[in-house]
Amino acid sequence: MPNPRPSPAPATSPGATGSLRARIVPFMKFGIVGGTGLMWDTLAVYGLRPLLGLTGATVLAYFIAASMNWLANRLWTFRHIVHADRPLVQWARFLAACSLGFVMNRGMVFTLFLLVPLCRTMPFLALAAGALAGLAANFTLSHRMVFRHRKPGP
């Protein structure tokens, strides 16, 4: 007697692969942009440290790097999206959405500065750990709150 239940589609069906690719590619691009953001962050910390001290430089550098990341994500990672917001509003949304990532990122950075003397000498180590700590939260919130499609007009 034939089985009346249809078998589930294999995980490698074209729809599943396309859907998985549609999620992974933007995440990978977001991660690459985050890597360049780490470069901006590091350059700003090392450049501003003599003027502002390690703490002040670390806080200001985050906003410099986050702004550069927003621009790169707008122009590359999410360029296929018809953006719902004007650029300045979207930039502000990006900074707001990344606030959880900021807490995770800078929480890790300052914890490492406090507990690992090598990280005070070589801030790059703490900055890299902080970037990884905030990556998933920043991507998820950016994808849902910032880089969203404009709703079709009348």
Q: What is the DSSP letter of 149?
A: B
Cβ partners under 8 Å of residue 47, min gap 6: 57
In sequence order, what are the beta bridge partners of 149? 83
pLDDT of 8 reads 44
Whether the Cβ atoms of residue 134 and residue 104 lie closer than 8 Å to each other = yes
Instruction: Give the pTM.
Output: 0.73
What's the distance, CA 18 to chain centroid?
23
Q: From first to last of its 154 residues, what are the pLDDT tens digits of the chain?
A: 555 544 444 444 445 556 777 778 888 999 999 999 999 999 999 999 999 999 999 999 989 999 999 999 999 998 888 877 899 999 999 999 888 888 988 999 999 999 999 999 999 999 999 988 888 888 888 888 888 776 655 5
pLDDT at 21 (0 to 100): 78
Question: What does the pLDDT read at residue 6?
Answer: 45
Which residues are 83's β-sheet partners? Answer: 149
Which own/partner contact pairs does 132-137 have at CB distance under 8 Å and 24+ positions apart? 133/104, 133/105, 133/107, 133/108, 134/98, 134/100, 134/101, 134/102, 134/104, 134/105, 134/108, 135/30, 135/31, 135/34, 135/101, 137/100, 137/101, 137/104
